């Protein structure tokens, strides 16, 4: 079972902005090749950081309102939210160790 849950325009507020832990939101689409490359890497990181961060994904084709609100122009894009605010942003595919380092720096 995946540790990464799907979020939508309708539950983004509750699942992301009101979460008690930092949230990594993976903005993706089914047709996006790099998005499919990032997915297993995020699964591994979610397992590794379980409890410290929450991981969710939002399909930009089905949830254009949220993607537009946060200015998502390219996918994959990962936005990291803490206390309802965007704290960091990663656009494009990045190696796992680089992502882990970036995410851990937010937890310090």
Active site (catalytic) residues = 32, 35
Q: Which element (helix H / strand E) includes 64? A: helix 64-69
Q: Please state, in angstroms and rounded to a whole number, the distance separating the CA atoms of residues 72 and 100.
A: 22
Radius of gyration of the chain (CA): 12
Token pair belonging to 35 = 């998005």
Token pair belonging to 38 = 């990032």
**50 DSSP 8-state letter:** B
């Amino acid at each position: 079972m995946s540790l990464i849950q799907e979020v939508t325009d309708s539950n983004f507020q509750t699942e992301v902005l009101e979460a008690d832990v930092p949230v990594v939101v993976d903005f993706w689409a089914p047709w996006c090749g790099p998005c499919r490359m990032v997915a297993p890497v995020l699964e591994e990181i979610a397992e590794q950081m379980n409890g410290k961060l929450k991981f969710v994904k939002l399909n930009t084709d089905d949830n254009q309102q949220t993607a537009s609100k946060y200015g998502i122009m390219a996918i994959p894009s990962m936005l990291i939210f803490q206390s309802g605010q965007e704290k960091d942003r990663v656009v494009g595919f990045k190696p796992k160790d680089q992502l882990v380092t970036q995410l851990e720096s937010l937890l310090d």
